[in-house]
Structure formats: C-alpha cells, structure tokens
Structure 1
Amino acid sequence: MTTVTSESTTRPAAAAKPVRWAADAAAVLREGARLRLDYSAQSLWRVDRGIDGIRREGAPYAAVETVLRGLGAYGGEVIVRQAGGEWWATGGDHWVRTPDGRLWDPIDEARRCFAGHGSLRLLCRDATAGG
C-alpha cells in the first residue's frame, strides 16, 4: 500500500464539494471585493461583514444562493482547520463534525447571516471552544 501525503487525498470524500465551494468563494472575494481570506477564525469577521453588505444592498436570495453556500463552506473549512473537524455529508447536505462529536451547519449559518440573524464568526467560536 502506498503512503498518502497530500491533504486532498487523505480527506474524507464528503469534503470534496465544500472545500471547492470554499476555495471558489475565497477567490471571488479576493478578485471582486479584494478581501483576503486566509482560513483563520479572524477572517470570518470579514465574511460576516461581507454577507451583511450583500443583504443591505437588497440582493435577492436566489441571486446570492451560490455565494452564500461558498461562504458557509469557507466558514466550515475554517472550523475543520481550527478544531480538527471533518466534513460529513448526507442527502446533499454538508456539516462539520468536531472531535467532540458535535455537528455544525455552517452553510445554513451563512443563510441565517444573510437573513440578519446568524454569524459564521460566532459559529466558529462555539465550534472551536470544545464541548
């Protein structure tokens, strides 16, 4: 058996889509809004503010649904990296499971943020605090 050394091949299959969505969202924000996202917990403050800005501009949900999914996936990837969690998927939904066994839904949290009552930064804080 060969030794696997790259992160992309050692991660669970459930991570494939959200990791791509997160990378795409980070690239869009880097190019469009000139926001640098480095997968740190602190970067989620900028993501929350960005989502709030989109909401204040009055963008219809249907127009930003893919962006919100990507930003939620980015938030989830921050939790995975900060807390040592992993992506889980079932029925097309994706969650992050932290080592303490708790499940988190950062993609839904991005939607909640867009609705005015969520925060990826606070979700990450709670997820990385342990249980």
Structure 2
Amino acid sequence: MSRTDERVPCASEMRSCAAQFVARVTARNRLPLDYSVASLRVVDFLIDGLRKGGAEGERVRDPLFGLGAYVGEVLVRRAGAIWVDFDSAQREYFGQPVGVRMPDGRVWNPLGKVRNRFELGGPGESLQTFYLTLHGRARRAVA
C-alpha cells in the first residue's frame, strides 16, 4: 500500500501492509524477508543503505513505513504480539497511529523504531537487537 494518499492504515490492515511491502521488495531483489528474527538484520541493513544513500523526506516515507510494518509483523508472528490502534495518548506519545501489544500487555512502536534506526543509526538502534531484548515476548514462536 502506498502512503502517498496520506491515509494511515489501521491495525487490522497492518498484516496486509507488511505482506504487500515484502512482495514489492522481494520481486526485485532476493532479500530473505521471511518474518524470522534473523531477517531483522536485513531490515537494519536496508535502513542503513537508505541512510548512506542520502535518501530523505518523501523518498523514505513509504519504505520506512513498509519496514516498520514488517518489523511489527515479525513481532506478531514470532513474539505473540497483536496489532493495535493506539488511543489518543499513545498516538501523541509514539507519534504513530498503530503499534503492537505484547502478551504481557506492553505496547511497542515498531514504526517508530524503524524511523529511529533511520534518523539515529548505529548499533544501539538495531531492530534485531530490539527484538532480542524486547520485554513481554511469548516464550514460543507464534505462526
């Protein structure tokens, strides 16, 4: 889904957004975006490529949204999270309309985490590390 129309998908549409993003980027490249935890390293690499390539503003909005949807979907499939629409206080705090709720009730902002990786860079903003240190994950993978 292209976001050029400014419409932001709701939680119930995020799985589809992630799938459409994966279909688009893997049609041109052989990227191992298989919703595994290891694939988050590829996400880090892709974001770093956008940073090093000097992309900014409108050029990165859709790719970063797609990567954020993908990261969120990894949390859904591997950590037992569910997509949720943020309430007004959460939208204000996170700067995003949707996120994920973990099995322990904590909410996380994968769209914002991707944006932080792009804006701040560095190993401290790694999406793979984010997953591996994430509180509230389910003990077993959820398909």
Bin the TM-score by the shorter chain.
0.7 to 0.9
Partner of 2:109: 105
Q: How far does residue 119 in structure 1 lie from its aligned partner after superposition?
A: 2.3
**Structure 1's 21 and 128: CA in aligned 2 closer, same or farther, altered over 3 A?**
farther
The structure 1 residue matched to 2:69, chosen from 68, 73, 96, is 73
My pick for the range that moved more, 107-116 or 19-28, is: 19-28
**Structure 1's 128 and 83: CA in aligned 2 closer, same or farther, altered over 3 A?**
farther
Partner of 1:16: 12
Q: Distance in 2 between matches of 1:98 and 1:129?
A: 6
Q: How far does residue 127 in structure 1 lie from its aligned partner after superposition?
A: 2.6
Q: C-alpha deviations, 1:28-60, integer Å up to 9, x for none?
A: 221233212110010000011011001100011
The number of equivalent residue pairs is 118
Contact 1:87 1:97 in 2 (8 A): yes
Partner of 2:134: 127
Q: How far does residue 84 in structure 1 lie from its aligned partner after superposition?
A: 1.0
Q: Distance in 2 between matches of 1:40 and 1:63?
A: 27
Where is the helix percentage greater, Structure 1 or Structure 2?
1
Gaps of 5+ in 1: 1-13
Q: Distance in 2 between matches of 1:106 and 1:64?
A: 16
TM-score, length basis structure 1: 0.80
Partner of 1:46: 42
RMSD, matched Cα? 2.0
Identity of aligned residues (%): 41
Q: C-alpha deviations, 1:69-117, integer Å up to 9, x for none?
A: 1111110110111111111113661111100111110001111111115
Name the SS of the counterpart of 1:95 in structure 2. strand
**Structure 1's 34 and 61: CA in aligned 2 closer, same or farther, altered over 3 A?**
farther
4+ residue runs over 3 A deviation: 128-131
TM-score, length basis structure 2: 0.73
Q: How far does residue 129 in structure 1 lie from its aligned partner after superposition?
A: 6.2
Q: Distance in 2 between matches of 1:98 and 1:39?
A: 17
